[in-house]
Amino acid sequence: MRACLSLLLVMATFLQADAQSRNRQIVEAYERVRMEAIAKAEQSVVAIARVRQAARGVAAPRGPNPTSSDFVPGEYASGVMIDSRGFILTTQHVLGDPKKNDYYIFLARKPYRAKVKATDPWLDLAILQIQTTKPRQYRQIAIGDNKKVRKGQTVLALGNPFAIARDGQVSVSQGIISNIGRKAPQLAKPPRGVSKQPTLHHFGTLLQTDAKLNQGTSGGALVNLDGQLVGLITTLAAGARFERAAGFAIPIDAVVRRSIEKLKQGKQPEYGFLGVQTLDLTAEARRNGRFGVRVRVTEGTPASHGGLRDGDIVIRVNSARIFNRGDLTRQICGYPVGTQVDLTFIRGWAKNRRGRQLTQKVMLGKRYVASHRPAFAEIPLPFWRGVQVDYGTAVPVAVLQDLSVRVDPTRTVVVRSVKRESAAWKAGLRQYDYVSHIGDRRILSPRDFFSAVRGKNGAVTLRLANRKDTKREVAGE
């Protein structure tokens, strides 16, 4: 008996030691994976410093040179190298006004001057590019597959908290994906003309993580255990009503990737527009298994041309099901201007009637982004003889609703701005005039407009859809 007990004790000790060994091996393997992920990603994460430009006629304030090791920035953030040519992705809100600030980035202990290529207020994104006399290839971060991001997945946050990463050592915190599709908090008191939901993230796009995100990590990288970028950290989403442990990141999905490509070109991204006001279904209807969004249609918009009527309930955009207002906004904005989508909706859906299901093809217009932050593009919309035009739907909602009873915005272009004393100004063109024809040629887009005026040296006749005296002769310059 004693021999048996001794043998059992030896076996138990052996099994316990073996289990401890296996556990240790698992922990060590996980630590190696985590360290390798950090090593892959950290060389592509930079520190950003924002320095205010001196006003005209005012001497620049004395102080440490921003490229000096003694320099301590008062305004700082993080960024991610997303192109080997020195393009850096960050959040727009950390940059302020590019016309009033200079920017420096710190990468591998080396300071560089950087310029803003373009910003995207709708996605809160911006691209900077390193300025150097000796171009080189930079280590760009690998991009992960956003469709594989799952709740509970381990992620690492790399950034520049409290501006300490100027020494080339980015800081890292670890967490999990707590949730997917979170909304940014609405603006409590938006400026006049700005919605309480001024970005797409207010309609439920954000990744939520419990990784610790301190001040200065906005614009940093949220990576998976392969060291691939799955989100761009944004601390802007955290409000007073949110728990301190909640952090947020902009997912690197197809919409964000499309924006990044435009920003790298120094241009403003464009987003699809339908032209409806929306209302969620009642709680009773949803409990009964119904889904979709009830719409009110603005005349002359893509929705109107697509055959939608007031009271229709949109249930799908292409194959994507629509459950609430945020779903519809995200789906429509996910497509470029001019994309034709299949819109499926229910007509005549009352309490005791099923209604009819219809599907119509709709050509999307361009969304107007009313932001409280100035948009910037190295290559702005072009001018012709002092006039700048855009898609007819790219105007504030109030303007669109006021003009749509007299104008067909989808089949015209709108005057975005006119330079004073230019040929267009002298001809009487003003902001929010709508151009329907150049001579006898119908104009449906800015591309049509510039194609029609290309090569014309003399006076050109523009027909305005919103005026009684419709024609304007714009003299050659």
Q: Are residues 263 and 295 in the same domain?
A: no
Q: Are 356 and 418 part of one and the same domain? A: no
Question: Do 149 and 239 share a domain, yes or no?
Answer: yes
Among residues 324, 348, 363, which one ends one of the domains?
A: 363
* Model confidence at 202: pLDDT above 90: yes
Same structural domain, 293 and 410: no
Question: Which of 214, 240, 270 finishes a domain?
Answer: 270
Cβ burial of 301 (10 Å; 0-12, 13-18, 19+) is buried
CA 45/CA 473 separation, integer angstroms? 54
Average pLDDT of the residues of the chain:
89
What is the mean predicted confidence (pLDDT) over 12-28?
A: 73
| Residue 265 sits in the same domain as residue 283 | no
The set of residues, in sequence order, having a beta carbon less than 8 Å from that of 416 and lying 6+ positions away, is 381, 388, 389, 390, 394, 431
> Of 209, 243, 270, which residue is a domain's last?
270
Q: Is residue 398 domain-resident?
A: yes
CATH number of the CATH domain containing 359: 2.30.42.10
Write the DSSP assignment of 38-88 as a string of letters.
HHHHHTTEEEEEEEEPPPTTSPPPPS--TTSTT---SEEEEEEEEETTTEE
Pairing of strands 413-418, 434-438: antiparallel
Q: What is the pLDDT of residue 15?
A: 57
| Residue 17 domain-assigned (yes or no) | no
In a domain, 7, yes or no: no
Q: Residue 371: what pLDDT?
A: 87
pLDDT at 397: 86
Question: Higher confidence at residue 465 or residue 351?
Answer: 465
Same domain, 104 and 242: yes
Q: Is position 107 within any domain? A: yes
Residue 323 CA to residue 318 CA, distance in Å, equals 14
Sign of CA dihedral 271, 276, 282, 287: negative
Domain count, the chain: 3
Q: Which tens digits make up the pLDDT trace of 368-401?
A: 998 888 899 999 999 999 999 999 999 998 888 8
Output the pLDDT for position 458: 93
> What are 93-137's pLDDT values in tens digits?
999 999 999 999 998 888 899 999 999 999 999 999 999 888 789
Q: Is residue 28 part of a domain?
A: no
State residue 320's pLDDT score: 97
Answer for the pair 427, 473: CB distance below 8 angstroms, yes or no.
yes
Q: Do 213 and 304 belong together in one domain?
A: no
The Cα 31–Cα 394 span in angstroms is: 51
The enclosing domain of 93 has a CATH number of 2.40.10.120
Q: What was the pLDDT predicted at 192?
A: 81
Q: Give the pLDDT score at 75.
A: 86
**DSSP symbol at 421:** T
User: What would the pLDDT profile of 276-304 be if each residue is shown by its tens digit?
Assistant: 999 999 898 888 888 999 999 999 999 99
Strand, helix or coil at 430? coil
Q: Give the mean model confidence (pLDDT) for residues 440-464.
A: 95
pLDDT of residue 58: 46
Widest pairwise Cα distance in the chain? 114
Name which of 34-43, 49-58, 73-82, 100-109 the model is least confident about: 49-58
Residue 5 scores a pLDDT above 60: no
Provide the token pair at 207.
Answer: 């990744």
Which residues, in sequence order, are bridge partners of residue 222?
157, 231
Domain range for 92 is 36-54+65-187+194-270
| Same domain for 309 and 258 | no
The answer as to whether 381 is a domain residue is no
Tell me how far the alpha carbon of residue 184 is from its chain's centroid. Answer: 13
Token pair for 256:
């964000």
For residues 348-352, average pLDDT: 74
4, 5, 10, 15 alpha-carbon torsion, rounded to 10°: 100
CB 67 within 8 A of CB 104: yes
Mean pLDDT calculated for residue range 326-348: 96
Query: Which residue, among 261, 306, 41, has the nearest Cα to 157 in the 3D structure?
Result: 41
- Answer yes or no: is 378 within a domain: no
| Residue 376 in domain | no
How far is residue 164 from each of residues 76, 77, 130, 220, 256, measured CA to CA in Å? 10, 10, 20, 13, 28
3-state secondary structure string across 262-277 = HHHCCCCCCCEECCEE
Same domain membership, residue 358 and residue 293:
yes
Instruction: State how far the Cα of 329 lies from the Cα of 120, in Å rounded to an integer.
Output: 17
State the pTM of this model: 0.90
What is the average per-residue pLDDT within 398-422? 88
State mean pLDDT over 138-159. 96
59-73, 208-222, 320-334: the lowest-pLDDT one: 59-73
The Cα 87–Cα 75 span in angstroms is 20
Residue 185, pLDDT score: 86
Tell me the residue type at 249: A
Residue at token pair 């171009």: 135
> Could you tell me if residue 432 is left (phi over 0), alpha (psi between -120 and 50 degrees) or otherwise beta?
left
d(CA 66, CA 70): 8
Average pLDDT, stretch 293-317?
95
For the cut 90, the answer to whether the pLDDT of residue 152 exceeds it is yes
DSSP string, 104-139: EEEETTEEEEEEEEEEETTTTEEEEEEE-SS-----
Whether 327 and 355 share a structural domain: yes
Helix, strand or coil, per DSSP, at residue 161: helix
User: What is the percent of the chain with per-residue pLDDT over 70, rounded to a whole number?
Assistant: 90
pLDDT at position 289? 85
pLDDT for position 199: 94
Which residue has better confidence, 368 or 73?
A: 368
Residue 382: the pLDDT is 95
Residue 108 and residue 218 in one domain: yes
Locate 136 and state its tokens: 């080189």
Q: What pLDDT is stored for residue 121 in this prediction?
A: 97
Residues 227 and 121 in one domain: yes
Across the range 457-475, mean pLDDT stands at 90
